Chain A
Amino acid sequence: MAMAALRREGRRLAPLISPRTITAVRSSPLYPTLEDEGPLGVRHISTQVVRNRMKSVKNIQKITKAMKMVAASKLRAIQTKTENSRGLWQPFTALLGDLPSADVKKNVVVTISSDKGLCGGINSTSVKISKGLHKLNSATGPEKETKYVILGEKAKAQLVRDSKKDIELIITELQKNPLNYTQVSVLADEILKNVEYDALRIVFNKFQSVVSFVPTVSTVLSTEIVEREAESGGKLGDLDSYEVEGGETKGEILQNLAEFQFSCTMFNAVLENACSEQGARMSAMDSSSRNAGDMLDRLTLTYNRTRQASITTELIEIISGASALEG
């Protein structure tokens, strides 16, 4: 085997071989070699290539680790806000009920997604659910229609491909400024003005914990549907028992209430989705830096083997050269 290695090296060093074999041998490490297949089919990667690879993998590891830290700090900041906003929509649900099964003609699906990528699978799940809702609604009858309102670049990219005609409104770059209620209520206002709806279904990822994000749908019904459901009894039956004051007509108050409910639910949904995005990004970057670490270990082993192989061949050349001189 040593002779085979020598033959291989000999072929490469043919132009450099001189009576002074020692200098020829010394120049071999400087000879930039590339991968080459010897007669036995053994690959001979040079150390330079492996070293370059190790450097780039190490850089990737550093970057993903930094991204994970950034996501963790952003998560902490936004998590307190989210928890505070959770109490906001619960009274609405207690009063008006959350009826995902309400049978309505005009459905509007509001899909909330992130603008930036590298955050795991949360955007795909939101889009899948939105498409599912669309199919569900159109399957139950021809006069039912479903429209999309999209928040965020990622859902836009996925939904524009096959449902372009059903999209009413697209809003992106939501997270440029820190999220606050005024901004979201303006947004909610825009949506309510431009879109006709009987029921609004908000699709987002609820933040259960740092490792679990559950896709959820919140339903906000328009006032006519609420009246209809209230009359038919069931969950909303007690709505009629409330004495409504503070305005001219009951309808006007309920209308305002519905709009307020929508903006509160939107606020909560947007915050939860932002939390989920940061959490998902944290875990994605964590697994990616761990993979980079594993890859680095494997490359280090390869590097050491290559290095030792080249030292061995050097020694063999020296020894055989020396023995050739003697003998």
Chain B
Amino acid sequence: MTLNLCILTPNRIVLDSEVKEIILSTNSGQIGVLPNHAPIATAIDTGILRIRLNDQWLTIALMGGFARMDNNEITILVNDAEKGSDIDPQEVQQALEIAEANLRKAEGKIQIIEANLALRQARTRVEAINAIS
């Protein structure tokens, strides 16, 4: 029994394949989904999604969205998604440093919120790389 997983972003379809198990992080914690799960609809926070196919784990960084699971079909709609294998470690390290620097010198509520968001996204991508290696 496998799950049909489909990850969609506004710009493209990131993934469309069959997997054995997924672990995704929602606003209220991480949940693991195995085949024949009850139907759920949840909101996804900025975090990593782990997929297991054939005893191999893949990580994908997701930037917030929704997920819906019904009858062994999972649809994940997010604002942006990046496969762990597609992320360049150097670039992500730099992005992380820039985000941290921005947060330190951010003033005003809006800037702080934006900087926090950018930082979380950068951290997620770093985690995605580290989780594989």
Contacts and interface: CB of A to CB of B under 8 A. Distances in A.
Interface residues of A, number: 25
B10 A245 contact: no
Contact of B42 (A81, A85, A88, A245): A245
Contact of B10 (A95, A241, A244, A264): A264
B79 A257 contact: no
Interface string B66-77: 101010000101
A179 to B, nearest CB: 10
B79 A242 contact: no
Contacts of B41: 95, 242-245, 253, 257
A34 to B, nearest CB: 62
A247 B68 contact: no
B43 interface: yes
4 pairs of A and B residues whose beta carbons are closest in the complex: A181-B10, A246-B26, A246-B42, A246-B43
- The range of chain B's interface size is 20 to 34
Nearest to B43: A246
B70 A245 contact: no
A238 B40 CA distance: 11
Interface in B18-42: 26-28, 31, 38-42
Given A81-B11, A238-B39, A260-B66, 17 more contacts: A84-B11, A87-B8, A88-B8, A92-B77, A94-B75, A241-B39, A242-B40, A242-B68, A243-B38, A243-B40, A244-B42, A245-B28, A245-B42, A256-B43, A260-B77, A264-B77, A267-B10
A212 B97 CA distance: 50
A244 B77 CA distance: 15
Interface in B75-92: 75, 77, 79
Nearest to A260: B66
Contacts of A87: 8, 13
B12 A84 contact: yes
Contact of A246 (B8, B13, B27, B79): B27
A87 B78 CA distance: 12
Given A88-B10, A88-B77, A242 B39 contact: yes
Interface in A85-102: 85, 87-88, 91-92, 94-95
Nearest to A245: B42
B44 interface: yes
